[in-house]
Structure 1
Amino acid sequence: MSKVIALCGKICSGKTFYANKIKERENAVILSTDEVTFYLMDNEQGERYDDFAKRVNEYLMKKAIDIVRAGANVILDWGFWSKKERINLTNYYKKYDIPVEWHYVDVTQEKWQDLIKKRNELIVSGQGEYSFYFDDGLKKKLLDSFNEPSKEEMDIWYINE
């Protein structure tokens, strides 16, 4: 049976890289909030971003049901910063008898700083695809909101070295 693979991790931890790495092996489709917001709003929604991203996530969660029922796995690439989000997602798919496999993309502080620097350099040079520039405001938002999962919550604990 097909499943939903939910990726948990900080911004710039390597979730999208990891998603692409497992996509072929898992016969999976990647659904990314960042990709959708970039294509629809060019990441220029400002203060409305959180509301817009929530609506995008709800839509992608529904589309994931169709994809799983069609026989492919789905990778949800949007972070799941809080334990409440993780519980809600698991319960949502439980109603449809769709298994969720949780993957945490862990990264050392040193590697994380390096990834942030590289991402920002790519964005400044116009090669950042659909990524956000990671500034101090976004870092504060992440650090204020992110609840690192416990090992018991995750099925796979991937360390991005």
Structure 2
Amino acid sequence: MASETSVRVCVRVRPLIPKERLEDEHLAVETFDSQIKVASQTFTFDHVFGLDSGQEDIWPCVTPLVDSVFEGYNATIFAYGQTGSGKTFTMGSGNSAFVSNPDERGIIPRVLQEMFARIAAKTADGRGYRTELKLRFLEIYGEEIRD
């Protein structure tokens, strides 16, 4: 794999939504390339995506996982955060999965497209490349797991 460690933590900070702006709420964080500052505390991550980051900006952090899958390893993408923090949007498992603008697609549709494109390329040469692809999507909400 491209990373020196088996776990990488990337954080995405979402901008205020219109309702929050109307209520005159303010962000309590500052973002840098790999750090988030909250009040006097600074937290370091493998990568931090700031307020202006788009779906396309997240993809380079995911690509090494797709590469590792094609090298025979397992991969997990885990989105964590409170309700409304943007997990479903970033993963692309809500309405954003079917957007017409490819730049707005989330992680799941991008991973699927990339994996099927790679499989198609490997099988096109006629050398009998065999692929078994298993995916599992889970959502934990409260104490309930949805598959």
The TM-score range, normalised by the shorter chain, is 0.3 to 0.5
**Structure with more contact order per residue of length (Cα contacts < 8 Å, sep ≥ 6):** 1
* TM-score, reference length from structure 2: 0.38
More helix by share: 1
